[in-house]
């Protein structure tokens, strides 16, 4: 990890801030919803951190205050279903004073706004209970708008009542269509959902309100700068150790849904290949026969308690895919809880035989789930310690001994990891030279280089990325592309080009141990060309169709993401293993296949269908219409999924051994299949020197 000079002085400089707090506050924990003495301290310190040490040196002014108010209201009432227009108008008195309040530790507005929200939520939950007393009429021809993020605030209680009637009716109709439930059962499921919400709101602590408000502030600055309350900080540290046992996923609460924030390589969720970032968990069941518990609206820590469990036990989840609208039917997933083992997170590779234009090739494919290193073994002097670079280097040697013709590095869903490993891995494929530039908050630029002139592999190379390849993955893919060392294919990557540092507030403000921490953005990544990886990510040389648009599933989907920009180019010498002319030929051949290849046409059809469903924000509340739509969608889904029933491939094994399951299956992986075609074309290009054995790096 890079040590940021600018933050080395944070602690001594801010220790002087303790002088601001030599007042006689009551530091006893409070159960009522009022700010505590510690929270007053934290708000002023975080304001200082943002203005002095955040990458952008944030100015606390009226503009920020206005955005903070909007963001806080959005956090509390994302779909504008609780507050009345008169409530919001009443909050306008705070629009241009919150910046000054933060500087002096004035938090009363945050708690006043929350108290109004709490009151409105209780009213809405009571209204839902009344709605469920009588069976709803599903024959009326009416519609419900599912996306109200930018809708006007309701002017009257009657207007809110009607919005909630339609919302509850939509949920009830979805439950009815899913299992042909009777009204009593439907009313019970929906009723319990809102009773639980009511209970959760009733249990809200001062710490919860403060954390929500501070994150409305911090994430209004940029999406990766966050505040963790003392309780959340403790849970974060526990989760980082306990997450090694369970399903292997980090969760976050977003708009009443427990959402997959990260899928950990090697865990049950990762190995299932059916869980991805952005998926929403709507229900959880224990074992193969346990009853599904609806968890919509639950606190994420309560959902985690249901999902966690002993190794070897079964947990079933109902999951709403990230790309689907909330009205879609969830799918059920069965997972066996397990402890994530280091070896299951490591890079893996094998030879994949392919045929192209009647000619056989032996393609080496290496899957890299993360950029990692076992520092403990390294410190013990073990030269063969596990790391992304060491493991890929070893696998390349094994694949070359099996007469590998070309190499594909699969970085799909690789969310990043150690920056040093991204630099070292790049060094296996290029001579010495710069790999990435890092600009710090003080404006200084660090250039991280590969200093070894040898190459482990200098044959034909392709790097496969997707929308969820981020951070260190983007640095590696960008360097390979900039050096023209290989061809980058797949989807546009995520676009996270910022660096965060964890700031322990307990070390800044003396005299207390319950202040939490801030994850502060302190630097940005830049490619050797000077282009930032922030926001835009890496655009592949050959771009495949994608279900996940950047506007919804990339850094650019974040309204407060830091901008893309440029710095001067680093001094580097392109290798020109892949020419612009060759890339143009590969693109043209791919575009032709898009029109003729059955698998690619089916993939595009799937994407179009998903986009059509996702773009539909207006749903019918009439049972006959919804049932017909549902039947048509199920028919199309079955048709589109029919080609996915291919039999798993296995490798050959001795008669007394079990066949070994292959890591990669081209029959089920359209993107890897197309990548293999492109690399075969790259191999066939007469101008390309391929299959050469390079001098291994020592």
Active site residue 471: yes
Active site residue 496: yes
Nearest to 244 by CA among 343, 339, 374: 339
Residue in 321, 471, 556, 577 annotated catalytic: 471
Distance CA 586, CA 677 (A): 9
Residue in 169, 393, 496, 673 annotated catalytic: 496
C-alpha to C-alpha distances, 641 to 331, 549, 600, 658, nearest whole angstrom: 14, 21, 13, 30
| DSSP β-bridge partners for residue 350 | 365
Architecture of domain 244-339: Roll (2.30)
The predicted-structure confidence for 79-137, as pLDDT tens digits, reads as follows 999 999 999 999 999 999 999 999 999 999 999 999 999 999 999 999 999 999 999 99
Map tokens 């030929």 to a residue: 585
Distance CA 528, CA 568 (A): 9
In the chain, what is the greatest distance between 2 CA atoms, to the nearest angstrom?
Answer: 83
Nearest to 445 by CA among 562, 561, 570: 570
pLDDT for the residue numbered 687: 40
What SS3 class is residue 546? coil
Distance CA 44, CA 17 (A): 9
- What DSSP designation does 529 have? T
Distance CA 312, CA 336 (A): 6
Distance CA 464, CA 676 (A): 10
Nearest to 373 by CA among 351, 358, 393: 393
pLDDT for the residue numbered 86: 98
Answer for the pair 515, 509: CB distance below 8 angstroms, yes or no: yes
- Where do the CATH 2.30.42.10 domains begin and end in the chain? 244-339
pLDDT for the residue numbered 438: 97
The predicted-structure confidence for 164-190, as pLDDT tens digits, reads as follows 999 999 999 988 987 778 999 999 999
Q: Over the chain (698 residues), what is each successive 10-residue block's mean pLDDT?
A: 32 31 37 85 93 93 96 94 98 97 95 96 95 95 91 97 96 86 92 88 90 94 90 60 63 81 81 86 91 83 84 91 73 86 79 91 95 84 89 97 96 93 97 97 96 95 96 98 97 96 86 82 97 97 89 87 96 94 94 89 81 76 88 59 38 40 81 94 62 44
CA atoms within 13 A on the CB side of 525: 33
Name the class of domain 345-644+658-684. alpha beta
Distance CA 53, CA 176 (A): 53
pLDDT for the residue numbered 187: 95
DSSP per position, 137-197: ---S--EEES--TTSPPBSSHHHHHHHHHHHHHHHHHHHHHHH---HHHHHHHHHHHHHHH
Distance CA 228, CA 211 (A): 7
What dihedral angle (degrees, nearest 10) is formed by the CA atoms of 270, 271, 273, 276? -10
Burial 378-394 (b: 16+ CB within 10 A, else e): eeeeeeebbbbbbbbbe
Helix (H) or strand (E) holding 221: helix 206-221
Helix (H) or strand (E) holding 345: helix 342-345
Residue in 482, 541, 669, 670 annotated catalytic: 482
- What DSSP designation does 568 have? P
- Where do the CATH 3.90.226.10 domains begin and end in the chain? 345-644+658-684
Active site residue 444: no
> What tokens does 275 get?
């869980």
Nearest to 77 by CA among 23, 165, 175, 151: 151
């Amino acid at each position: 990890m890079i040590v940021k000079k600018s933050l080395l002085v944070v602690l001594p400089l801010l220790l002087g801030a303790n002088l601001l707090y030599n007042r006689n506050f009551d530091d006893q924990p409070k159960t009522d919803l009022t700010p505590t003495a510690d929270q007053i301290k934290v708000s002023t310190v975080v304001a200082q951190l943002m203005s002095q040490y955040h990458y952008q040196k944030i100015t606390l002014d009226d503009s920020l205050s206005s955005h903070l108010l909007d963001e806080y209201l959005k956090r509390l009432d994302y779909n504008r279903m609780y507050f009345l227009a008169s409530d919001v108008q009443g909050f306008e008195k705070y629009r241009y004073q919150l910046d000054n309040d933060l500087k002096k530790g004035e938090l009363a507005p945050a708690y006043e706004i929350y108290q109004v929200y709490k009151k409105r939520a209780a009213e809405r939950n009571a209204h839902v209970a009344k709605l469920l007393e009588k069976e709803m009429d599903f024959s009326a021809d009416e519609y419900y708008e599912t996306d109200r993020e930018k809708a006007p605030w309701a002017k009257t209680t009657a207007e809110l009542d009607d919005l909630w009637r339609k919302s509850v009716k939509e949920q009830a109709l979805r439950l009815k269509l899913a299992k042909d439930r009777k009204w009593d059962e439907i009313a019970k499921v929906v009723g319990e959902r809102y009773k639980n919400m009511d209970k959760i709101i009733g249990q809200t602590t001062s710490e919860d309100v403060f954390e929500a408000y501070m994150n409305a502030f911090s994430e209004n600055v940029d999406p990766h700068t966050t505040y963790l309350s003392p309780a959340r900080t403790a849970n974060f540290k526990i989760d980082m150790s306990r997450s090694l046992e369970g399903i292997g996923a980090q969760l976050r609460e977003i708009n009443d849904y427990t959402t997959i924030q990260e899928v950990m390589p090697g865990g049950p969720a990762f190995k299932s290949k059916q869980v991805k970032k952005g998926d929403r968990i709507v229900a959880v069941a224990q074992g193969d026969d346990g009853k599904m518990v609806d968890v919509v609206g639950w606190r994420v820590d309560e959902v985690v308690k249901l999902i966690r469990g002993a190794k070897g036990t079964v947990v079933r989840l109902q999951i709403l895919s990230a790309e689907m609208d909330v009205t879609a039917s969830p799918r059920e997933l069965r997972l066996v809880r397990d402890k994530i083992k280091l070896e299951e997170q490591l890079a893996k590779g094998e030879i994949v035989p392919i045929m192209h234009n009647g000619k056989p090739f032996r393609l080496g494919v290496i899957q890299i789930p993360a950029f990692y290193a076992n520092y403990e073994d390294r410190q013990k002097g073990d030269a063969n310690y596990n790391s992304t670079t060491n493991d890929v280097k070893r696998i390349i040697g094994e694949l070359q001994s099996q007469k590998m013709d070309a190499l594909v590095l699969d970085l799909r869903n690789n969310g990043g990891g150690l920056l040093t490993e991204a630099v070292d891995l790049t060094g296996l494929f290029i001579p010495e030279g710069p790999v990435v530039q890092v600009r710090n908050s003080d404006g200084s630029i660090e250039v991280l280089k590969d200093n070894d002139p040898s190459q482990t592999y200098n044959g034909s190379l392709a790097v496969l990325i997707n929308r969820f390849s981020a951070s260190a993955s983007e640095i590696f893919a960008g360097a390979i592309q900039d050096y023209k060392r290989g061809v980058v294919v797949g989807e546009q990557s995520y676009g996270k080009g910022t660096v965060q540092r964890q700031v322990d507030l307990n070390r800044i403000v003396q005299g207390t141990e319950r202040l939490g921490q801030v994850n502060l953005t302190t630097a940005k990544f830049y490619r050797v060309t000077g282009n930032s990886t922030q926001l835009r990510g890496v655009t592949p040389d050959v771009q495949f169709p994608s279900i996940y648009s950047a506007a919804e599933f990339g850094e650019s989907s974040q309204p407060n993401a830091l901008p893309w920009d440029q710095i001067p180019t680093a001094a580097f010498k392109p290798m020109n293993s892949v020419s612009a002319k060759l890339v143009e030929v590969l693109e043209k051949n791919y575009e032709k296949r898009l029109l003729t290849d059955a698998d690619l046409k089916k993939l595009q059809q799937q994407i179009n269908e998903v986009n059509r469903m996702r773009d539909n924000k207006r749903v019918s509340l009439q049972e006959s219409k919804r049932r017909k739509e549902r039947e048509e969608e199920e028919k199309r889904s079955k048709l589109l999924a029919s080609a996915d029933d291919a039999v798993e491939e296995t490798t050959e094994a001795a008669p007394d051994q079990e066949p070994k399951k292959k890591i990669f299956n081209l029959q089920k992986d359209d993107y890897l299949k197309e990548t293999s075609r492109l690399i075969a074309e790259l191999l066939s290009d007469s101008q390309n020197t391929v299959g050469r054995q390079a001098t291994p790096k020592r």
